[in-house]
Amino acid sequence: MKRKLISLLLVMLLFISIIPVTQALADGASTRAAMTVRASISSSGRITGTGTSANESKTVTVTLYRQSGSSWIYVTSATKTQTAATVTATTTGTLLDGAYYKAVATCKNDSMSSPITHTTYYAN
């Protein structure tokens, strides 16, 4: 009788310990695919931000900045929201000769608390 009671308690403990894991999987916490984000700047001033992950709704924003002293001045940006494995936002800005630029791409989906960011630099 004592063995059956201990066995029953162990089985109940096992089931209770599985509940949080099952809930986390249902919420997508452990099943979310890795996300990659890339920013690029071409010599013509075309900036591109690309976010790649599972086929889900995501928002990609790419922003171009020009350096002015120790500050970064906003030039232009583009945003695209789409349900796809890869989402790309793109636009074109005017690049001034001799200037230093950075493009910042961010990607966020509904299950993330903060976006993933990638920055690249370009000297014209």
Structure confidence by residue, pLDDT tens digits, 89-107: 999 999 999 999 999 999 9
Domain enclosing residue 10, as ranges:
1-31
Query: Do residue 6 and residue 41 come from a single domain?
Result: no
What rounded mean pLDDT belongs to the chain? 82
Query: Do residue 62 and residue 102 come from a single domain?
Result: yes
Find all residues with CB under 8 Å of 11, minimum gap 6, and list them: none
pLDDT recorded at residue 10:
63
Query: Do residue 57 and residue 9 come from a single domain?
Result: no
pTM, 2 dp: 0.70
CATH number at residue 73: 2.60.40.2150
Q: 92 with 69: CB under 8 angstroms?
A: no
Query: Do residue 71 and residue 115 come from a single domain?
Result: yes
In sign, the C-alpha dihedral spanning 92, 99, 105, 118 is: positive
Residue 111 backbone phi and psi in degrees, to 5? -90, 0
